[in-house]
Structure 1
């Protein structure tokens, strides 16, 4: 059988325009392509026109699956966006710190010390009586604790020391609130620390950072105490220090802003602290407390055993 020789370099056969017009299918509005094709394809159905009308007519039909981004690509885009946000956050932090230094926010007039935020009291001259000027802040904090923990009103007469704990709220209800509370104005004491020179230091908290507490002691000294490897104690009043007429949403009363009440063993005077009245003492583990106060407010803490000093 003879083989036919084919020239692979020969030009492709050209189809004339007239031949192309003969093979072209012409469609009209009376017989569009999609319904005609679907109805003709449903050869096994007894009513192809009815199936087309009920299931296909008037609906959007996808001729092919849309392209989807791969999971790896989405993960890379997410990481890139997170890095960009972190870079912007650091940039804003540097700019904000520079603006604070230029505006002198960390410095203030000693004459206005009683009326300004005392959280950064360490800029004031050492000749001032710092501790006594911080007592109003401490009394505000006691009022804040009285409302936050729902402390009971002080009794009218005397009370036995062993019954103080029985009248206080349960520890299970106080602990979650204390974890998220603001401690500026509280009296903190270093109970244990790997640095033995810090043990026993006590003072009013004026500034809390992520890793340290800044205290003003009774000797008007400013001490920066690291949270790491330290155990602190703080006290809250056993009974509410707010007046009986106080309502939620009202400003906390300051010493001297209201008529002087009758002397009471359960309410501190303007020159006293929470340590001079019946109080409840709590321990604060610094290693588990290394968060900013704003982060603690929205953080969920899990109960777990702690091995400390």
Structure 2
């Protein structure tokens, strides 16, 4: 209280209040109105930015807007390999897993061939541009003799290779270069008719085709949009 009185005695406001109020009221008013009065400061003004800083701000704003509008960039080939985006996990490299895919492909290729199976130029062009994911292919001829006879379901058709799953649940990569692949298509119409007539399975019509890998070095998506024409190949 002595400190308060001393501080009040040295302050002009306390002296003026003591002329009109008792000491208790003076102490209360002085504490509330003078000591605890909030001090409002005028906010400082930002310095005027230089022309260089202003242009930099505009560039950053434009880059931010462009980044928001820009579509996400696709992964590069190296990033796809590093992440294993298109690789098949070892636990899924099972022949039984891809058998339904082969059944779907059989129906797909039968639709391309059509009824009666007339193998004409347009049909051959469709076969050349068809998708062979799910086809059951076998190496008929190859410069690498160890690959001859390898058979499996195509799980990946790249530009230069076929990746197949064999019945032994092995994933094999077969180069298309200097290799001839063979695949068979069973005639569903003939098969249904033979069932009705109870004909032996040997009498069912099976079409056998051969793919020359040297002339088949295209990605599946590129073959779908490519027009194939008949021409003479001197190496065949």
TM-score by length of 2: 0.58
CA contact (8 A) 1:143 1:240 kept: no
Which structure ranks higher in relative contact order (CA pairs < 8 Å, sequence separation ≥ 6)? 1
Cα distance in 1 for partners of 2:78, 2:206 equals 39
Aligned to 1:3: none
Shift of 1:237: 2.2
Shift of 1:306: 2.3
Aligned to 1:171: 120
Shift of 1:235: 1.6
Shift of 1:307: 3.9
* Cα gap change, 1:308 to 1:220, in 2 (>3 Å): farther
Shift of 1:221: 1.1
Cα distance in 1 for partners of 2:205, 2:198 equals 8
Matches within 5 A, 1:102-181: 102=83, 105-106=85-86, 120-121=87-88, 123-125=89-91, 130-150=94-114, 152=115, 167-181=116-130
CA contact (8 A) 1:146 1:240 kept: no
CA contact (8 A) 2:138 2:150 kept: yes
Aligned to 1:289: 216
Consecutive unaligned residues in structure 2, runs of 5 or more: 1-72
Alignment of 1:228 with 2:228, yes or no, is no
Q: Which has the higher helix share?
A: 2
- Secondary structure, aligned partner of 1:134: helix
Shift of 1:236: 1.8
Shift of 1:131: 1.1
Once the two structures are superposed, residues 109-161 of structure 1 have per-residue CA deviations (whole angstroms, 9 ceiling, x without a partner) of xxxxxxxxxxx43x222xx67112211000010111122222x3xxxxxxxxx
Question: What root-mean-square deviation, in Å, do the aligned CA atoms of Structure 1 and Structure 2 show?
Answer: 3.4
CA contact (8 A) 1:149 1:174 kept: yes
Shift of 1:94: 5.4
Shift of 1:105: 3.4
Aligned to 1:197: 146
Consecutive unaligned residues in structure 1, runs of 5 or more: 1-91, 107-119, 153-166, 244-261, 269-274
Cα distance in 1 for partners of 2:157, 2:221 equals 10
Cα distance in 1 for partners of 2:178, 2:228 equals 19
Shift of 1:98: 2.0
Cα distance in 1 for partners of 2:198, 2:94 equals 26
Cα distance in 2 for partners of 1:229, 1:93 equals 33
* Cα gap change, 1:208 to 1:133, in 2 (>3 Å): same
Structure with max Cα Rg: 2
Cα distance in 1 for partners of 2:90, 2:197 equals 34
Matches within 5 A, 1:1-309: 95=76, 98=79, 101-102=82-83, 105-106=85-86, 120-121=87-88, 123-125=89-91, 130-150=94-114, 152=115, 167-239=116-188, 278-308=205-235
Once the two structures are superposed, residues 64-108 of structure 1 have per-residue CA deviations (whole angstroms, 9 ceiling, x without a partner) of xxxxxxxxxxxxxxxxxxxxxxxxxxxx66546526855x634xx
